[in-house]
Amino acid sequence: MNPVHGTKNILSIAGSDPSGGAGIQADLKSIAAAGGYGMAVISALTAQNTHGVNAVHVPPAGFLTEQLRAIGTDIRIDGIKIGMLANAQVINELTDWLAEFRGAATQAGTPVPAVVLDPVMVATSGDTLLDEAAGAALRRLFAHADVITPNIPELAVLAGAAEAADWDSAIDQARELAARYEVLVLAKGGHLDSARCRDGIIDASGVLFEVESARHSTANTHGTGCSLSSALATFYARSGDWGAALRSSKTWLDTAIARSGELEVGSGHGPINHLARLWDGAAIDVAGDALQAWWERISPIRTAIDELGFIRTLQDGSLDAADFEDYLGQDAIYLRGYARAMSRAAALAPDTESQRFWAAAASSCLEEELALHRGRLAGPLPEPSPSTTAYLNHLLAGTDSYPVLAAAVLPCFWIYQDVGTRLAAANHRAHPYADWLSTYADPGFEEATAAAIALVNGVHAAADARTRQAMWCAFEASALHELAFFAQTAAEGPRQATNTAAADFAPEGDAVPAR
Ligand SMILES: Nc1ncnc2c1ncn2[C@@H]1O[C@H](COP(=O)(O)OP(=O)(O)OP(=O)(O)O)[C@@H](O)[C@H]1O
Ligand SMILES: Cc1ncc(CO)c(N)n1
């Protein structure tokens, strides 16, 4: 993250998109996501949504200069991104201000902010955003830009050629533009019909830096160009290196597109998820209710558990007796290890009350294990399965941090209690596993779960941002281990299928349950 004293002020000069996915709104989100302080001078207002642009209102061009002067005379500008400019008059005002501003900086010997110019002509929806007479004015503005970022159709208009059908032709057109305007050209492959999305920064001699990502099959590409150019301006201001800035921007954009489905914005070309990674951090959880947010975030894992054959057949009583026995054997092994993890939490706990809670929980866990062993399991315990071992390794070898360990042991309480409520509700006298299901209805366990949640919530509230993030990771990883644990029985079919269920939810990093 940004050191406090090196923050960069990035100015976006662009049109407003009230739907928040493109234009100024996308720019501010992208600048923030890339670690900059965003400022916005609005060149035009559009009335648009995820389906298209209905109307454009262009404020008097002189007012653009008013806005630019207000900022330029007060605030250090470390980077500039230019987007939609609507007409020639607006472009000319901006060109004059930029020439004056950059000239003054050069003369004063102060750093001249780099300018990334996105020559916005047509929206993703196909609507025109720049009137045709403005072309000549736009070309004059190029003289004050460091990088221009045309998409494939814009590249063709600027090069006066047919639209490039492949990446090599796009590079050729970009090279020609770079030579003609003495500017770097970021060519973007988003509009090509290729499996991978390539982008490259090109000068007159050829490709300087190239990046690529998989092409996501999504309609949510509204504002990708605006977002990329703003991120590029910001990362460049932070690094002073176009190659590094392009790589950072592309990595971020790839995640934002991949996770666009998490948003629910409109029914046309939706926006990308600019802040997905930020929202993963615990710092923005609603005050006092962080754990509820965690619980919601693991809802796909909880649904997957509910849908497992093992849980369904345990619920309706059709679960094979040998499969149930296998499960119980693993459960007994798991509970012994789990009790150790809670004893460790007791040992690390910072106050007597928490120490007593975890010690009591460890003790009742061992009692339960004994009862389980005595009542249901006939022979010696089986070998621990890979899923059991992986879960216990996560709990026992994972950390020396009390907050992280407390978060790691919580899903076993919470998920077990939650699944158990539904299992207990399905119980009846003739159910083949009636006595087992009745253990899920224990009000004492419900109370202990609520107490554990409250306790971890308190630890979370007192923790710093880094610890909160580590707590969330440990919690999520345990939830995944719960899924893998329930998914390991033969009721799920061959082991291969079991593994896929857990792998579908594999988080980044090392939290993937081993098999
Ligand atoms: N489906 C996709 N999957 C992954 N990356 C994509 C996809 N579509 C576009 N991109 C990337 O998004 C960025 C913007 O490219 P694009 O060529 O679409 O720009 P644009 O047309 O100016 O964007 P827009 O007008 O939608 O704001 C590029 O990095 C491109 O590779
Ligand atoms: C305001 C604005 N700028 C740029 C684009 C291009 O995506 C858009 N749709 N709207």
249 Cβ neighbours under 8 A, 6+ residues apart:
34, 228, 231, 232, 235
Question: Does a structural domain hold residue 87?
Answer: yes
Domain boundary among 259, 276, 293: 276
Tally Cβ neighbours within 10 Å of residue 110.
10
CB of 332 shorter than 6 A to ligand 2? no
Ligand 2 mutation target, pool 13, 16, 17, most atoms within 8 A of CB = 17
Measuring from atom 19 of ligand 1, which residue has the nearest CA? 225
Of 241, 276, 311, the domain-final residue: 276
Task: Read off the CATH number of the domain in which 345 is found.
Answer: 1.20.910.10
Q: Say if residue 409 is in the same domain as residue 331.
A: yes
What pLDDT is attached to residue 513?
Answer: 35
Same domain? 211 vs 308: no
Sheet holding 79-82, edge to edge: 53-57, 37-48, 9-16, 79-82, 114-117, 147-148, 184-188, 196-203, 206-214
Q: Are 212 and 196 in contact (CB under 8 A)?
A: yes
How confident is the prediction along the chain (515 residues), in pLDDT tens digits per residue?
444 448 999 999 999 999 999 999 999 999 999 999 999 999 999 999 999 999 999 999 999 999 999 999 999 999 999 999 999 999 999 999 999 999 999 999 999 999 999 998 876 677 766 777 788 899 899 999 999 999 999 999 999 899 999 999 999 999 999 999 999 999 999 999 999 999 999 999 999 999 999 999 999 999 999 999 999 999 999 999 999 999 999 999 999 999 999 999 999 999 999 999 888 765 566 666 789 889 999 999 999 999 999 999 999 999 998 888 889 899 999 999 999 999 999 999 999 999 999 999 999 999 988 787 777 777 788 999 999 999 999 999 877 899 999 999 999 999 999 999 888 888 888 888 888 888 777 888 889 999 999 999 999 988 988 899 999 999 999 999 999 999 997 666 543 333 344 444 444 433 333 32
DSSP string, 443-512: HHHHHHHHHHHHHHHHHHHHS-HHHHHHHHHHHHHHHHHHHHHHTTSGGG-SHHHHHHHHHTTPPSTT-P
In a shared domain, residues 388 and 407: yes
What is the gyration radius of the CA atoms in the chain, in angstroms?
A: 29
Shared domain check, 252 and 294? no
Closest-CA residue, ligand 1 atom 9, reads 190
Q: Is 200 in the pocket of ligand 2 (CB under 6 A)?
A: no
Residue-level pLDDT at 283:
59
What the block records as the tokens of 444 is 């004492």
Q: Is residue 509 part of a domain?
A: no
Q: Which of 219, 244, 276 is the last residue of a domain?
A: 276
Query: Which residues lie below 8 Å from residue 93, measured CB to CB, with a gap of 6+?
Result: 61, 62, 64, 65
376 and 272 assigned to the same domain: no
In a domain, 512, yes or no: no
Token couple for 17: 């998109």
- Are the C-beta atoms of residues 20 and 39 closer than 8 Å to each other? no
In a domain, residue 361? The reply is yes
Mutate to test the pocket of ligand 2, among 25, 30, 46 (most ligand atoms within 8 A of CB): 46
Residue having the nearest C-alpha atom to atom 23 of ligand 1: 225
Cβ atoms of 151 and 188 within 8 Å: the answer is yes
Q: Are 199 and 189 a contacting pair, CB within 8 Å?
A: yes
CATH at residue 40: 3.40.1190.20
**36 part of a folded domain:** yes
Look up the ipTM and state it: 0.98
The greatest distance separating any two alpha carbons of the chain, rounded to the nearest whole angstrom, comes to: 90
d(CA 515, CA 512): 9
Separation between Cα atoms, residue 467 and residue 106, nearest integer Å:
45
Query: Beta strand 9-16 with 79-82: parallel, antiparallel or unpaired?
Result: parallel
304 and 269 in a single domain? The answer is no
Same domain for 303 and 241? no
Read off the pTM.
0.68
The span from the CA of 461 to the CA of 110, in Å, is: 44
**Which pLDDT value is given to residue 289?**
76
Q: Give the model's pLDDT for residue 287.
A: 64
| β-sheet bridge partners, residue 41 | 13
Whose alpha carbon is nearest atom 6 of ligand 1? 190
| Other CB atoms within 10 A of residue 443 CB | 7
If asked whether residues 25 and 41 sit together in one domain, one would say yes
Q: How far is the CA of 164 from the centre of ligand 2 (A)?
A: 22
- Which residue has 């057109």 as its token pair? 173
CB contact at 8 A, 316 and 426: yes
Q: How many domains does the chain have?
A: 2
CB 387 within 8 A of CB 335: no
Measured distance CA(455)–CA(463) in Å, rounded: 13
Reduce the DSSP state of residue 84 to 3 states and report it.
coil
User: Is 511 inside a domain boundary?
Assistant: no
d(CA 389, CA 326): 15
- State in Å: Cα 265 to ligand 1 middle: 18
477 and 377 belong to one structural domain: yes
Give me the active site residues, please.
188, 221, 223-226
Q: Considering the domain boundaries, does residue 510 fall inside one? A: no
Distance 47 CA to ligand 2 centre (A): 11
* Whole-number Å distance between alpha carbons of 491 and 478: 22
Residues 300 and 163 in one domain: no
**Per-residue tokens: 132:** 């045709």
Whether 23 lines ligand 2, by a CB cut-off of 6 Å, is yes
3-state secondary structure of 208: strand
Domain that holds residue 126: 9-276
Specify whether the CB–CB gap between 186 and 115 falls below 8 A: no
Domain shared by 365 and 410, yes or no:
yes
In a domain, 2, yes or no: no
Residues in the chain: 515
Angle at Cα 323 formed by Cα 317 and Cα 328, nearest 5°? 95
Indicate whether 390 and 322 sit together in one domain: yes
